[in-house]
Structure 1
Protein backbone atom coordinates (compact mmCIF):
# COMPACT_ATOMS: atom_id res chain seq x y z
CA UNK A 1 0.00 0.00 0.00
CA UNK A 2 3.05 2.29 -0.06
CA UNK A 3 3.10 5.30 0.17
CA UNK A 4 -0.11 5.04 2.18
CA UNK A 5 0.13 4.07 5.82
CA UNK A 6 -0.63 0.91 7.75
CA UNK A 7 -4.15 1.97 8.71
CA UNK A 8 -5.03 2.45 5.04
CA UNK A 9 -3.80 -1.06 4.29
CA UNK A 10 -6.08 -2.61 6.90
CA UNK A 11 -9.04 -0.55 5.70
CA UNK A 12 -8.48 -1.52 2.07
CA UNK A 13 -7.97 -5.20 2.93
CA UNK A 14 -11.31 -5.29 4.76
CA UNK A 15 -13.21 -3.35 2.12
CA UNK A 16 -11.88 -5.40 -0.81
CA UNK A 17 -12.41 -8.76 0.88
CA UNK A 18 -8.92 -9.94 1.76
CA UNK A 19 -8.64 -12.55 4.52
CA UNK A 20 -5.65 -10.99 6.28
CA UNK A 21 -2.58 -8.82 5.92
CA UNK A 22 1.16 -9.28 6.00
CA UNK A 23 2.94 -6.53 7.93
CA UNK A 24 6.49 -5.67 6.93
CA UNK A 25 8.44 -4.22 9.84
CA UNK A 26 9.99 -0.91 8.81
CA UNK A 27 10.89 2.39 10.45
CA UNK A 28 7.20 3.32 10.78
CA UNK A 29 6.54 2.78 14.51
CA UNK A 30 3.09 1.30 13.82
CA UNK A 31 4.67 -1.66 12.03
CA UNK A 32 6.56 -2.46 15.24
CA UNK A 33 3.71 -1.95 17.71
CA UNK A 34 1.64 -5.05 18.52
CA UNK A 35 -0.96 -3.04 20.45
CA UNK A 36 -1.72 -0.71 17.56
CA UNK A 37 -1.66 -3.51 14.98
CA UNK A 38 -4.04 -5.61 17.08
CA UNK A 39 -6.37 -2.64 17.42
CA UNK A 40 -6.41 -2.15 13.64
CA UNK A 41 -6.94 -5.86 13.04
CA UNK A 42 -9.87 -5.95 15.47
CA UNK A 43 -11.43 -2.77 14.10
CA UNK A 44 -11.43 -4.03 10.52
CA UNK A 45 -11.86 -7.75 11.18
CA UNK A 46 -8.68 -8.53 9.27
CA UNK A 47 -5.97 -10.44 11.19
CA UNK A 48 -2.23 -10.15 10.74
CA UNK A 49 -1.36 -13.53 9.23
CA UNK A 50 2.35 -12.98 8.67
CA UNK A 51 5.20 -10.68 9.68
CA UNK A 52 8.00 -9.73 7.32
CA UNK A 53 11.16 -9.22 9.36
CA UNK A 54 13.21 -6.05 8.69
CA UNK A 55 15.90 -7.83 6.67
CA UNK A 56 15.74 -5.52 3.65
CA UNK A 57 18.54 -3.16 2.68
CA UNK A 58 16.36 -0.18 3.65
CA UNK A 59 15.64 -1.66 7.08
CA UNK A 60 19.16 -2.00 8.43
CA UNK A 61 18.52 0.40 11.33
CA UNK A 62 15.02 -0.73 12.27
CA UNK A 63 14.59 -1.48 15.99
CA UNK A 64 17.72 0.63 16.54
CA UNK A 65 19.85 -2.48 16.16
CA UNK A 66 22.63 -3.42 13.80
CA UNK A 67 22.63 -7.07 14.89
CA UNK A 68 20.31 -8.90 12.45
CA UNK A 69 19.42 -11.55 15.02
CA UNK A 70 18.07 -8.88 17.37
CA UNK A 71 15.72 -7.71 14.62
CA UNK A 72 14.60 -11.26 13.86
CA UNK A 73 14.02 -11.99 17.55
CA UNK A 74 11.98 -8.80 17.90
CA UNK A 75 9.96 -9.85 14.85
CA UNK A 76 9.31 -13.23 16.47
CA UNK A 77 8.10 -11.44 19.62
CA UNK A 78 5.77 -9.33 17.48
CA UNK A 79 4.42 -12.37 15.64
CA UNK A 80 3.73 -14.18 18.90
CA UNK A 81 1.85 -11.18 20.30
CA UNK A 82 -0.30 -11.00 17.17
CA UNK A 83 -0.66 -14.79 16.85
CA UNK A 84 0.75 -14.56 13.33
CA UNK A 85 2.10 -18.03 12.47
CA UNK A 86 4.65 -17.07 9.83
CA UNK A 87 7.67 -14.78 9.68
CA UNK A 88 9.24 -14.03 6.31
CA UNK A 89 12.92 -13.16 6.14
CA UNK A 90 15.53 -12.60 3.47
CA UNK A 91 18.90 -14.38 3.41
CA UNK A 92 21.88 -12.36 4.68
CA UNK A 93 23.79 -9.95 2.49
CA UNK A 94 27.24 -11.18 1.54
CA UNK A 95 28.96 -8.47 3.61
CA UNK A 96 27.20 -9.72 6.78
CA UNK A 97 29.80 -12.46 7.09
CA UNK A 98 29.33 -13.51 10.70
CA UNK A 99 25.54 -13.45 10.40
CA UNK A 100 25.67 -15.39 7.13
CA UNK A 101 28.01 -18.03 8.57
CA UNK A 102 25.51 -18.90 11.30
CA UNK A 103 22.29 -18.15 9.42
CA UNK A 104 21.11 -21.68 8.63
CA UNK A 105 21.73 -22.93 12.16
CA UNK A 106 20.30 -19.76 13.70
CA UNK A 107 17.05 -20.09 11.76
CA UNK A 108 16.69 -23.78 12.68
CA UNK A 109 17.40 -23.10 16.36
CA UNK A 110 14.81 -20.33 16.59
CA UNK A 111 12.15 -22.37 14.84
CA UNK A 112 12.68 -25.20 17.31
CA UNK A 113 13.02 -23.13 20.48
CA UNK A 114 10.39 -20.48 19.78
CA UNK A 115 7.77 -22.55 17.95
CA UNK A 116 7.57 -20.32 14.89
CA UNK A 117 7.81 -20.69 11.12
CA UNK A 118 10.74 -18.71 9.69
CA UNK A 119 10.19 -18.88 5.94
CA UNK A 120 13.32 -17.79 4.03
CA UNK A 121 12.42 -15.98 0.82
CA UNK A 122 13.93 -16.52 -2.62
CA UNK A 123 15.80 -13.48 -3.89
CA UNK A 124 17.74 -12.78 -7.11
CA UNK A 125 21.23 -11.80 -8.26
CA UNK A 126 21.92 -8.10 -8.52
CA UNK A 127 23.02 -6.84 -11.93
CA UNK A 128 25.44 -4.10 -12.90
CA UNK A 129 26.70 -3.47 -16.42
CA UNK A 130 25.33 -6.83 -17.56
CA UNK A 131 27.19 -8.64 -14.77
CA UNK A 132 25.50 -10.75 -12.11
CA UNK A 133 26.53 -9.92 -8.56
CA UNK A 134 25.90 -12.46 -5.82
CA UNK A 135 24.57 -10.21 -3.09
CA UNK A 136 23.29 -12.92 -0.73
CA UNK A 137 24.80 -15.69 1.39
CA UNK A 138 24.60 -18.60 1.43
CA UNK A 139 22.60 -18.04 -1.80
CA UNK A 140 19.70 -16.10 -3.25
CA UNK A 141 17.94 -19.39 -4.06
CA UNK A 142 16.69 -21.13 -0.88
CA UNK A 143 15.65 -24.36 -2.60
CA UNK A 144 19.00 -26.21 -2.28
CA UNK A 145 19.50 -24.95 1.29
CA UNK A 146 18.40 -27.03 4.31
CA UNK A 147 15.67 -24.63 5.44
CA UNK A 148 12.56 -26.29 6.83
CA UNK A 149 10.35 -23.48 5.51
CA UNK A 150 10.59 -21.28 2.43
CA UNK A 151 8.69 -18.31 0.97
CA UNK A 152 8.37 -18.29 -2.82
CA UNK A 153 8.05 -14.87 -4.45
CA UNK A 154 7.04 -15.15 -8.11
CA UNK A 155 8.36 -11.70 -9.03
CA UNK A 156 11.76 -12.54 -7.52
CA UNK A 157 11.79 -15.80 -9.47
CA UNK A 158 11.16 -13.87 -12.69
CA UNK A 159 14.01 -11.46 -11.97
CA UNK A 160 16.35 -14.35 -11.16
CA UNK A 161 15.36 -16.23 -14.31
CA UNK A 162 14.28 -19.19 -12.17
CA UNK A 163 11.56 -21.68 -13.09
CA UNK A 164 9.06 -21.17 -10.29
CA UNK A 165 7.18 -24.39 -11.09
CA UNK A 166 10.40 -26.38 -10.74
CA UNK A 167 11.10 -24.58 -7.47
CA UNK A 168 7.59 -25.36 -6.24
CA UNK A 169 7.97 -29.06 -7.07
CA UNK A 170 11.43 -29.28 -5.52
CA UNK A 171 10.30 -27.67 -2.26
CA UNK A 172 7.25 -29.85 -1.72
CA UNK A 173 6.01 -29.46 1.86
CA UNK A 174 8.85 -27.05 2.69
CA UNK A 175 6.93 -24.37 0.77
CA UNK A 176 5.28 -22.52 3.64
CA UNK A 177 4.38 -19.09 2.28
CA UNK A 178 3.82 -17.37 -1.08
CA UNK A 179 4.24 -13.81 -2.30
CA UNK A 180 1.92 -13.62 -5.29
CA UNK A 181 3.01 -11.25 -8.04
CA UNK A 182 4.08 -11.43 -11.67
CA UNK A 183 7.18 -10.43 -13.61
CA UNK A 184 8.50 -10.24 -17.13
CA UNK A 185 12.07 -11.29 -16.44
CA UNK A 186 13.25 -7.69 -16.32
CA UNK A 187 16.42 -6.72 -14.47
CA UNK A 188 14.12 -4.86 -12.09
CA UNK A 189 11.99 -6.60 -9.47
CA UNK A 190 8.62 -5.62 -10.93
CA UNK A 191 5.89 -7.10 -8.68
CA UNK A 192 3.26 -6.88 -11.39
CA UNK A 193 -0.38 -7.78 -10.92
CA UNK A 194 -0.68 -11.54 -11.56
CA UNK A 195 -1.54 -12.16 -15.21
CA UNK A 196 0.35 -9.11 -16.48
CA UNK A 197 3.77 -10.75 -16.81
CA UNK A 198 5.05 -14.02 -18.16
CA UNK A 199 5.11 -16.09 -14.99
CA UNK A 200 2.80 -19.14 -14.74
CA UNK A 201 0.88 -17.62 -11.84
CA UNK A 202 -2.37 -19.44 -12.54
CA UNK A 203 -0.75 -22.85 -12.92
CA UNK A 204 1.34 -22.20 -9.81
CA UNK A 205 -1.78 -21.47 -7.75
CA UNK A 206 -3.65 -24.46 -9.19
CA UNK A 207 -0.80 -26.77 -8.24
CA UNK A 208 -0.56 -25.10 -4.85
CA UNK A 209 -4.19 -25.76 -3.99
CA UNK A 210 -4.04 -29.32 -5.32
CA UNK A 211 -1.03 -30.03 -3.10
CA UNK A 212 -2.95 -29.39 0.11
CA UNK A 213 -0.92 -26.25 0.87
CA UNK A 214 -1.95 -24.85 4.26
CA UNK A 215 0.09 -21.65 4.34
CA UNK A 216 -0.84 -18.15 3.23
CA UNK A 217 -0.76 -16.49 -0.19
CA UNK A 218 0.10 -12.83 0.24
CA UNK A 219 -0.49 -10.45 -2.66
CA UNK A 220 2.66 -8.36 -3.07
CA UNK A 221 2.16 -6.07 -6.06
CA UNK A 222 3.54 -2.63 -6.82
CA UNK A 223 0.75 -0.04 -6.69
CA UNK A 224 2.88 3.10 -6.45
CA UNK A 225 2.45 4.27 -10.03
CA UNK A 226 -1.29 4.72 -9.99
CA UNK A 227 -3.64 6.82 -7.95
CA UNK A 228 -6.34 5.59 -5.63
CA UNK A 229 -8.59 4.11 -8.31
CA UNK A 230 -5.72 2.32 -10.03
CA UNK A 231 -4.41 0.95 -6.75
CA UNK A 232 -7.82 -0.35 -5.76
CA UNK A 233 -8.39 -1.88 -9.20
CA UNK A 234 -5.00 -3.63 -9.07
CA UNK A 235 -5.65 -5.04 -5.61
CA UNK A 236 -9.14 -6.16 -6.59
CA UNK A 237 -7.85 -7.87 -9.73
CA UNK A 238 -5.04 -9.59 -7.80
CA UNK A 239 -7.46 -10.98 -5.24
CA UNK A 240 -9.88 -12.17 -7.93
CA UNK A 241 -7.03 -13.89 -9.79
CA UNK A 242 -5.90 -15.72 -6.66
CA UNK A 243 -9.38 -16.84 -5.71
CA UNK A 244 -10.15 -18.00 -9.26
CA UNK A 245 -7.19 -20.35 -9.54
CA UNK A 246 -7.16 -21.57 -5.96
CA UNK A 247 -10.89 -22.33 -6.11
CA UNK A 248 -10.59 -24.05 -9.50
CA UNK A 249 -8.09 -26.52 -8.10
CA UNK A 250 -10.33 -27.16 -5.12
CA UNK A 251 -13.27 -27.85 -7.41
CA UNK A 252 -15.30 -24.91 -6.15
Structure 2
Protein backbone atom coordinates (compact mmCIF):
# COMPACT_ATOMS: atom_id res chain seq x y z
CA UNK A 1 0.00 0.00 0.00
CA UNK A 2 1.14 3.54 -0.77
CA UNK A 3 1.17 5.98 2.15
CA UNK A 4 -1.83 8.16 2.87
CA UNK A 5 -1.15 11.87 2.42
CA UNK A 6 -2.92 13.60 5.28
CA UNK A 7 -3.43 17.12 6.63
CA UNK A 8 -2.67 18.05 10.22
CA UNK A 9 -5.41 20.22 11.70
CA UNK A 10 -2.73 22.60 13.01
CA UNK A 11 -1.86 23.48 9.39
CA UNK A 12 -4.86 25.82 9.11
CA UNK A 13 -4.37 27.66 12.43
CA UNK A 14 -5.77 30.18 13.37
CA UNK A 15 -8.75 28.55 11.70
CA UNK A 16 -10.46 25.79 13.68
CA UNK A 17 -10.31 22.01 13.74
CA UNK A 18 -13.68 21.98 11.97
CA UNK A 19 -12.26 24.17 9.18
CA UNK A 20 -9.28 21.83 8.85
CA UNK A 21 -11.58 18.92 7.99
CA UNK A 22 -13.37 21.09 5.44
CA UNK A 23 -10.07 22.13 3.87
CA UNK A 24 -8.80 18.54 3.75
CA UNK A 25 -11.94 17.39 1.94
CA UNK A 26 -12.04 20.38 -0.42
CA UNK A 27 -8.37 20.18 -1.43
CA UNK A 28 -8.32 16.40 -1.74
CA UNK A 29 -6.22 15.00 1.09
CA UNK A 30 -6.54 11.30 1.94
CA UNK A 31 -6.96 11.74 5.70
CA UNK A 32 -6.55 14.06 8.70
CA UNK A 33 -4.29 14.09 11.74
CA UNK A 34 -6.04 15.72 14.69
CA UNK A 35 -3.86 17.90 16.90
CA UNK A 36 -5.42 17.87 20.36
CA UNK A 37 -4.93 21.44 21.49
CA UNK A 38 -6.50 24.62 22.76
CA UNK A 39 -9.43 24.33 20.33
CA UNK A 40 -11.91 22.63 22.67
CA UNK A 41 -13.56 20.80 19.78
CA UNK A 42 -10.33 18.83 19.19
CA UNK A 43 -10.67 17.44 22.73
CA UNK A 44 -14.21 16.11 22.23
CA UNK A 45 -14.59 12.59 20.90
CA UNK A 46 -18.17 13.01 19.65
CA UNK A 47 -17.35 16.25 17.82
CA UNK A 48 -14.25 14.81 16.14
CA UNK A 49 -16.17 11.70 15.08
CA UNK A 50 -18.96 13.88 13.68
CA UNK A 51 -16.45 15.88 11.60
CA UNK A 52 -14.94 12.68 10.26
CA UNK A 53 -18.32 11.34 9.23
CA UNK A 54 -19.68 14.62 7.84
CA UNK A 55 -16.68 15.20 5.58
CA UNK A 56 -16.12 11.49 4.88
CA UNK A 57 -12.52 12.12 5.84
CA UNK A 58 -10.64 9.32 7.67
CA UNK A 59 -8.51 10.18 10.69
CA UNK A 60 -5.12 8.50 10.51
CA UNK A 61 -3.55 9.85 13.70
CA UNK A 62 -4.09 11.71 16.94
CA UNK A 63 -1.36 14.11 18.07
CA UNK A 64 -1.34 14.03 21.85
CA UNK A 65 -1.37 17.37 23.74
CA UNK A 66 2.31 17.34 24.71
CA UNK A 67 3.40 20.74 23.39
CA UNK A 68 4.53 23.46 25.76
CA UNK A 69 1.31 25.45 25.25
CA UNK A 70 -0.94 22.37 25.76
CA UNK A 71 0.58 21.30 29.08
CA UNK A 72 -2.79 21.67 30.85
CA UNK A 73 -5.01 20.17 28.15
CA UNK A 74 -6.57 16.97 29.55
CA UNK A 75 -4.90 17.59 32.89
CA UNK A 76 -1.24 17.66 33.85
CA UNK A 77 -0.49 13.93 34.13
CA UNK A 78 1.49 13.06 30.96
CA UNK A 79 0.56 9.38 31.04
CA UNK A 80 -3.08 10.33 31.47
CA UNK A 81 -2.84 12.48 28.34
CA UNK A 82 -1.50 9.53 26.35
CA UNK A 83 -4.22 7.23 27.64
CA UNK A 84 -6.91 9.74 26.62
CA UNK A 85 -5.22 10.14 23.23
CA UNK A 86 -5.44 6.37 22.79
CA UNK A 87 -9.13 6.40 23.72
CA UNK A 88 -9.78 9.10 21.11
CA UNK A 89 -7.76 7.21 18.50
CA UNK A 90 -9.78 4.05 19.06
CA UNK A 91 -13.05 6.00 18.91
CA UNK A 92 -12.22 7.49 15.50
CA UNK A 93 -10.38 4.46 14.03
CA UNK A 94 -6.95 6.09 13.96
CA UNK A 95 -3.99 3.73 14.29
CA UNK A 96 -1.24 6.17 15.37
CA UNK A 97 -0.77 8.44 18.37
CA UNK A 98 2.02 10.99 17.88
CA UNK A 99 3.93 11.91 21.02
CA UNK A 100 6.94 14.10 21.80
CA UNK A 101 9.75 13.02 24.15
CA UNK A 102 9.34 14.39 27.69
CA UNK A 103 10.72 17.75 28.70
CA UNK A 104 13.77 17.36 30.95
CA UNK A 105 11.89 18.85 33.90
CA UNK A 106 9.36 16.00 33.66
CA UNK A 107 11.89 13.78 35.41
CA UNK A 108 9.60 11.04 36.66
CA UNK A 109 7.86 10.75 33.29
CA UNK A 110 11.17 10.77 31.40
CA UNK A 111 12.74 8.10 33.63
CA UNK A 112 10.28 5.44 32.45
CA UNK A 113 9.26 6.91 29.09
CA UNK A 114 10.79 4.32 26.74
CA UNK A 115 9.41 1.38 28.70
CA UNK A 116 6.08 3.13 29.30
CA UNK A 117 5.53 3.76 25.59
CA UNK A 118 6.15 0.06 24.90
CA UNK A 119 3.60 -0.88 27.57
CA UNK A 120 1.01 1.50 26.10
CA UNK A 121 1.49 0.05 22.63
CA UNK A 122 0.99 -3.45 23.99
CA UNK A 123 -2.11 -2.56 26.02
CA UNK A 124 -3.82 -0.41 23.37
CA UNK A 125 -2.75 -2.04 20.11
CA UNK A 126 -1.82 1.40 18.76
CA UNK A 127 1.46 2.77 17.44
CA UNK A 128 2.80 5.54 19.68
CA UNK A 129 5.12 7.18 17.15
CA UNK A 130 7.71 9.22 19.06
CA UNK A 131 8.66 12.41 17.20
CA UNK A 132 12.10 13.92 16.73
CA UNK A 133 12.59 17.24 18.49
CA UNK A 134 15.69 19.49 18.76
CA UNK A 135 18.00 21.34 21.14
CA UNK A 136 16.65 24.77 22.03
CA UNK A 137 18.92 27.49 20.68
CA UNK A 138 19.49 31.01 21.97
CA UNK A 139 22.19 33.10 20.23
CA UNK A 140 25.27 30.83 20.14
CA UNK A 141 24.12 28.52 22.95
CA UNK A 142 21.99 25.39 22.78
CA UNK A 143 20.11 23.67 25.59
CA UNK A 144 19.09 20.01 25.79
CA UNK A 145 15.41 20.27 26.74
CA UNK A 146 14.16 16.73 26.04
CA UNK A 147 14.81 13.40 27.74
CA UNK A 148 15.91 10.71 27.23
CA UNK A 149 16.88 12.45 23.96
CA UNK A 150 15.39 14.64 21.25
CA UNK A 151 16.39 12.10 18.55
CA UNK A 152 14.13 9.00 18.80
CA UNK A 153 16.43 7.02 16.49
CA UNK A 154 18.78 6.71 19.48
CA UNK A 155 16.22 4.81 21.55
CA UNK A 156 14.41 1.48 21.19
CA UNK A 157 10.94 2.80 20.28
CA UNK A 158 8.98 0.45 18.04
CA UNK A 159 7.40 3.39 16.16
CA UNK A 160 8.79 6.82 15.35
CA UNK A 161 7.95 10.10 13.59
CA UNK A 162 10.23 12.35 11.54
CA UNK A 163 9.36 16.06 11.40
CA UNK A 164 11.43 17.94 8.81
CA UNK A 165 11.08 21.34 10.49
CA UNK A 166 12.36 19.93 13.78
CA UNK A 167 15.21 18.24 11.95
CA UNK A 168 16.07 21.59 10.38
CA UNK A 169 16.54 23.22 13.78
CA UNK A 170 18.66 20.30 14.98
CA UNK A 171 20.75 20.20 11.81
CA UNK A 172 19.77 16.57 11.28
CA UNK A 173 19.99 14.74 7.97
CA UNK A 174 16.51 13.27 7.60
CA UNK A 175 17.50 10.52 5.19
CA UNK A 176 20.22 9.34 7.58
CA UNK A 177 17.74 9.49 10.46
CA UNK A 178 15.24 7.45 8.45
CA UNK A 179 17.89 4.84 7.70
CA UNK A 180 18.72 4.54 11.41
CA UNK A 181 15.04 4.07 12.19
CA UNK A 182 14.49 1.52 9.44
CA UNK A 183 11.11 -0.19 9.70
CA UNK A 184 10.41 1.66 12.94
CA UNK A 185 9.65 4.84 10.94
CA UNK A 186 5.87 4.94 10.94
CA UNK A 187 4.88 8.57 10.49
CA UNK A 188 6.11 11.71 8.71
CA UNK A 189 5.39 15.37 9.39
CA UNK A 190 6.13 16.77 5.95
CA UNK A 191 7.20 20.38 6.06
CA UNK A 192 10.48 22.28 5.58
CA UNK A 193 12.94 24.64 7.21
CA UNK A 194 16.03 26.73 6.57
CA UNK A 195 18.02 25.93 9.70
CA UNK A 196 16.52 28.72 11.79
CA UNK A 197 16.25 28.35 15.56
CA UNK A 198 12.53 28.96 15.04
CA UNK A 199 10.21 26.06 14.22
CA UNK A 200 9.36 27.30 10.73
CA UNK A 201 7.10 24.57 9.30
CA UNK A 202 7.43 25.86 5.76
CA UNK A 203 5.56 24.52 2.77
CA UNK A 204 7.73 21.59 1.58
CA UNK A 205 10.15 22.61 -1.12
CA UNK A 206 10.48 26.17 0.19
CA UNK A 207 13.30 25.31 2.60
CA UNK A 208 16.68 23.61 2.52
CA UNK A 209 15.83 20.18 3.98
CA UNK A 210 15.72 18.32 0.67
CA UNK A 211 12.08 17.36 1.16
CA UNK A 212 11.76 16.09 -2.43
CA UNK A 213 14.74 13.73 -2.08
CA UNK A 214 13.43 12.56 1.30
CA UNK A 215 10.03 11.62 -0.16
CA UNK A 216 11.74 9.87 -3.06
CA UNK A 217 13.81 7.91 -0.53
CA UNK A 218 10.62 6.86 1.26
CA UNK A 219 9.05 5.75 -2.01
CA UNK A 220 12.11 3.71 -2.94
CA UNK A 221 12.00 1.84 0.35
CA UNK A 222 8.23 1.22 -0.02
CA UNK A 223 7.25 3.28 3.01
CA UNK A 224 3.61 2.54 3.90
CA UNK A 225 3.10 4.81 6.91
CA UNK A 226 1.45 8.23 6.95
CA UNK A 227 2.78 11.38 5.31
CA UNK A 228 1.12 14.29 7.12
CA UNK A 229 1.44 17.89 5.95
CA UNK A 230 2.13 19.97 9.04
CA UNK A 231 2.76 23.46 7.68
CA UNK A 232 2.40 26.98 9.03
CA UNK A 233 -0.20 29.06 7.18
CA UNK A 234 -0.69 31.67 9.91
CA UNK A 235 0.71 34.43 7.73
CA UNK A 236 -1.56 33.67 4.79
CA UNK A 237 -3.03 36.98 3.66
CA UNK A 238 -6.44 35.40 3.04
CA UNK A 239 -8.22 32.09 2.54
CA UNK A 240 -7.17 31.96 -1.11
CA UNK A 241 -3.51 32.02 -0.12
CA UNK A 242 -4.08 29.38 2.56
CA UNK A 243 -5.78 27.15 0.00
CA UNK A 244 -2.91 27.67 -2.43
CA UNK A 245 -0.39 26.60 0.23
CA UNK A 246 -2.44 23.52 1.12
CA UNK A 247 -2.75 22.53 -2.55
CA UNK A 248 0.93 23.13 -3.27
CA UNK A 249 1.88 20.96 -0.28
CA UNK A 250 -0.40 18.12 -1.35
CA UNK A 251 0.81 18.23 -4.95
CA UNK A 252 4.44 18.27 -3.80
CA UNK A 253 3.89 15.18 -1.65
CA UNK A 254 2.11 13.22 -4.36
CA UNK A 255 4.65 14.18 -7.02
CA UNK A 256 7.70 13.06 -5.07
CA UNK A 257 6.06 9.96 -3.63
CA UNK A 258 5.24 8.97 -7.20
CA UNK A 259 1.48 8.98 -6.62
CA UNK A 260 -0.81 9.75 -9.54
CA UNK A 261 -4.07 9.64 -7.61
CA UNK A 262 -5.46 9.82 -4.05
CA UNK A 263 -4.94 6.74 -1.87
CA UNK A 264 -8.15 7.10 0.12
CA UNK A 265 -10.75 4.41 -0.62
* Same fold flag (TM > 0.5): yes
Aligned to 1:165: 175
Distance (Å, rounded) in 2 between the aligned partners of 1:108 and 1:44: 34
Q: TM-score, length-normalised on structure 2?
A: 0.92
Contact between 1:88 and 1:121, CA under 8 Å: does it hold in 2? Answer: yes
Please give the per-residue CA displacement for 1:49-105, whole angstroms capped at 9, x wherever unaligned. 100000100011001x11100011000000011110000000000000000001001
Aligned to 1:179: 189
Distance (Å, rounded) in 2 between the aligned partners of 1:220 and 1:210: 23
Alignment pair present for 1:239 and 2:250 = yes
Write out the 4+ residue segments of structure 1 that deviate beyond 2 Å after TM superposition: none
User: 2:106 is matched with which residue: 96, 102, 110?
Assistant: 96
Distance (Å, rounded) in 2 between the aligned partners of 1:248 and 1:70: 38
Contact between 2:254 and 2:260, CA under 8 Å: does it hold in 1? Answer: no
In terms of mean alpha carbon deviation, does 128-137 or 216-225 score higher? Answer: 128-137
Larger relative contact order, structure 1 or 2 (CA cutoff 8 Å, min sep 6): 2
Q: Secondary structure at the match of 1:62?
A: coil
Q: What value does the CA root-mean-square deviation take over the aligned residues?
A: 1.3
Distance (Å, rounded) in 1 between the aligned partners of 2:259 and 2:87: 37
Aligned to 2:70: 59
Q: Gaps (5+ residues) in structure 1? A: none
Aligned to 1:216: 226
User: 1:81 is matched with which residue: 91, 105, 130?
Assistant: 91
Distance (Å, rounded) in 2 between the aligned partners of 1:206 and 1:249: 14
Distance (Å, rounded) in 2 between the aligned partners of 1:248 and 1:49: 18
